[in-house]
Chain A
Amino acid sequence: MTDLTRLTLAEARDGLKAKKFTSVELTQAHVDAVTRAKQLNCYIVETPEKALDMAKAADARLARGEGGALEGLPLGIKDLYCTDGVQTTAASHILEGFVPRYESTVTSNLWRDGAVMLGKLNLDEFAMGSSNETSYFGPVVSPWRRNGSDAKIVPGGSSGGSSAAVAAHLCLGATATDTGGSIRQPAAFTGTVGIKPTYGRCSRWGIVAFASSLDQAGPITRNVRDCAIMLRSMAGHDLKDTTSVDAPVPDYEKAVGASVKGKVIGIPREYRLDGLSPEIAALWDRGIDWLRAAGAEIRDISLPHTRHALPAYYIVAPAEASSNLARYDGIRYGLRKTGKDIVDLYEKTRAEGFGKEVRRRIMIGTYVLSAGYYDAYYLRAQKIRSLIKRDFDLAYEAGVDAILTPATPSPAFAQGEKGSADPVEMYLNDVFTVTVNMAGLPGLVVPAGLSSDGLPLGLQLIGRPFEEETLFSLGEAIEQAAPKMVLPEPWWD
């Protein structure tokens, strides 16, 4: 039998339905691959026994001719999703040993549809980071390497465990979350596909909160079809999240392969930043050519408030984080350090429990929300969000169906290369993705080529609210046109 970890999610689904193999065989192959890939540090917790139990139950349902859309398919779960009875840490010391007694809505939806859990995937602490280097459980290593070098390359962040595990075939697909680019940037860095759906498409209930007005769940997979399949199961209305939207979930897979003839693609001039790498500019131009060749109409557009998005994000996100992370007090769950009184207990617990980047963001958030500064910072940033969103609204009203941009300003970098002197250097990774969160729009990243040093590069498609289907159709058109990426030899295996 061929190695079952080489299958796409759709192929594995079809193979199970056709009884070519069982979910137990499929799951065991992935459990073994995970066990051999420890040096990538993708998983914080592995759950092989649970996975095989779930696989047995799935096989029983399949044998009866039953089973949901993801029946018997082994997935990885970002360790930001609370999982009943399985440690959930957000990659933070402050939550080490925390075992939820409830299940997030999105993972409940996956189990409802028959999926199998392989374990909990590493991430930047509380999803704050772009390289997975802020995890308390150590950095994740990308399976990709630069030509002729064995330097450890980052898988992006914050969903770096998800992107690396998918790229290295350590699961068929993974859940991820995106607050400023945390699905799309890691997908771009690892040659995988990731979608941040429209805000409200997936329930946030049971996902450890970072910035509530920006956070959204989504999948990372190895191709566009798999991404569409997973999103359909993850999405849906939830009474437990008032911001989740009560609208039917389309069968996204039907959009994969649909014609893109006549679709109007906006090319925003403001994304052609001063100093944009020629390699990224050339990749973008190739993407434009591919979509034009597929029958789309290309149109230059302007999104004039683009350059304010990243600074405004670095007010909104830390402000909301400082409020959300106030719950980690050492009283109800997680780490507790003793102090001379209750305030001392809080201060010692939080100083030790949170890592450097998280402490920094809580401090910034506390400052911008403090008396006398709220209007000057947070309120102003929320007004700038309206301006950013209005730019997109005007483009869409003028007939644009989707917008094509680069995913990241550079390919992946090596561990320790960025952000050690100035935190802002790391923040610039999100320059092309953060506008999408600020406006609440859907954004899909697809692999589009390799950099001169042999690392993956991605393109981003930004859509109209709740029109993820258009993105899947366009994404597949790029996938078909782009050169096939040869996965690295499994040096970690």
Chain B
Amino acid sequence: MSVDLATVRRIAHLARISVSADEAPHLQNELNAILGFVEELSSVNVEGVEPMTSVLPMRMKKRVDEITDGYIQDKVLANAPAREDGFFVVPKVIE
């Protein structure tokens, strides 16, 4: 399977990464090299095989449903590129 330029642009948008017109053909070649490399997997017989979930059979742990931290607004906001009055600041998202 290989991807065309339009697909490269669509994936880039899905991944929220802007790709310039110059970059797109390079990226297309590289993605196709990787997709070519994984192509052989389509020939492996996986009939009746369950996808792997864990190394040893074990039950997923569940913790007690209780509050373990909180009141750390300062810590949560400490690395924000823009913040105001205890909020993250973002560009307008609703018209």
Interface residues of A (CB under 8 A from B): 97-102, 198-200, 239, 242-243, 245-246, 305, 308, 311-312, 314-315, 322, 326, 329-336, 338-339, 341-348, 350-351, 354, 359-360, 362-364, 366-367, 370, 376-377, 379-387, 389, 422-424, 427, 438-441, 465-466
Report B38-76 CB contacts with A as 1/0, cut-off 8 Å. Answer: 111110101001111011101011010000000010011
Q: Please state if B11 and A384 are interface contacts (CB–CB under 8 Å).
A: no
* Cross-chain contact of A99 among B30, B34, B78, B93 (Cβ < 8 A): B78
Decide if the interface of chain B is mainly helix, strand, loop or mixed. Answer: loop
Contact A336 B37 (CB under 8 A): no
Per the bound structure, the CA–CA distance linking A199 and B46 in Å amounts to: 24
Q: Is B14 an interface residue (CB 8 A)?
A: yes
Whether A347 contacts B41 in the complex (CB less than 8 A), given A384-B46, A386-B51, A387-B49, comes out as: no
Q: A308-B44, A440-B55 are in contact. Are A367 and B17 (CB under 8 A)?
A: no
A347 in complex: contacting residue of B18, B52, B76, B88, CB < 8 Å? B18
CA distance A331 to B76 in the complex (A): 12
B7 closest partner in A (C-beta):
A367
B80 and A333 contacting across the interface, CB-CB below 8 Å: yes
- Between A and B, 23 residue pairs with Cβ closer than 8 Å are A97-B79, A101-B78, A101-B79, A102-B75, A200-B54, A242-B61, A243-B54, A245-B58, A246-B61, A308-B40, A311-B41, A331-B80, A331-B90, A351-B17, A354-B17, A366-B15, A380-B44, A383-B51, A384-B46, A386-B49, A386-B51, A387-B46, A439-B55
Shortest C-beta distance, B11 to chain A (Å), equals 5
- How many Cβ-Cβ contacts under 8 Å join chain A to chain B? 159
Interface residues of B (CB under 8 A from A): 3, 7-8, 11-19, 27, 30-31, 33-35, 37-42, 44, 46, 49-52, 54-56, 58, 60-61, 63, 72, 75-76, 78-82, 88, 90-93
Least distance between B71 CB and chain A CB atoms (Å) = 13
Query: Contact check: which of B18, B27, B79, B82 meets A363 at CB < 8 Å?
Result: B27
Residues of A within 8 A of B12 (CB): 347, 363
A426 shortest CB reach to chain B, Å: 11
- Given A308-B41, A333-B79 in contact, is the A341-B91 Cβ separation under 8 Å? yes
Is A312 a contact of B17 with CB atoms below 8 Å? no
Assess A330 versus B18: contact at CB under 8 Å? Given A242-B60, A380-B46.
no
A239 in contact with B63 (CB, 8 Å): yes
Residues of A within 8 A of B91 (CB): 338-339, 341-342, 345
- Are B79 and A99 in contact (CB-based, < 8 A)? yes
Instruction: Report chain A residues within 8 Å CB of B56.
Output: 465-466
Question: A89 to chain B: closest CB distance in Å?
Answer: 12
Q: A351-B17, A441-B55 are in contact. Are A314 and B38 (CB under 8 A)?
A: yes
Question: Looking at the complex, which one of B8, B55, B81, B82 makes contact with A465 (CB distance below 8 Å)?
Answer: B55
Q: Please state if B50 and A332 are interface contacts (CB–CB under 8 Å).
A: no
Chain A residues with Cβ below 8 Å from B3 are 367
Q: Give the chain A neighbours of B27 by CB distance below 8 A.
A: 359-360, 363
A382 touches B52 (CB 8 A): yes
B60 vs chain A, min Cβ distance (A)? 6
CA of A334 to CA of B17 in the docked complex: distance in angstroms?
Answer: 16
| A342 and B90 contacting across the interface, CB-CB below 8 Å | yes
Residue in A closest to B61 when the chains form the complex, CB atoms: A242
Shortest distance in angstroms between B88's beta carbon and chain A's nearest beta carbon?
A: 6
Residue of A314, A344, A363 touching B15 (CB-CB under 8 A): A363
Give the nearest-CB partner of A350 in chain B.
B17
B11's contact among A99, A243, A354, A366, by CB below 8 Å, is which? A366
- Residues on B with beta carbons closer than 8 Å to the beta carbon of A359: 17, 27
User: What is the bound-complex CA distance between A338 and B27, given in angstroms?
Assistant: 24
Within the assembled complex, what's the spacing in Å between the Cα atoms of A332 and B82?
A: 8
Give the chain A neighbours of B44 by CB distance below 8 A.
Answer: 305, 308, 380, 384, 387
**Nearest-Cβ distance from residue A337 to partner chain B, whole angstroms:** 10
Residues of A within 8 A of B46 (CB): 380, 383-384, 387
The answer to whether A360 touches B88 (Cβ under 8 A) is: no
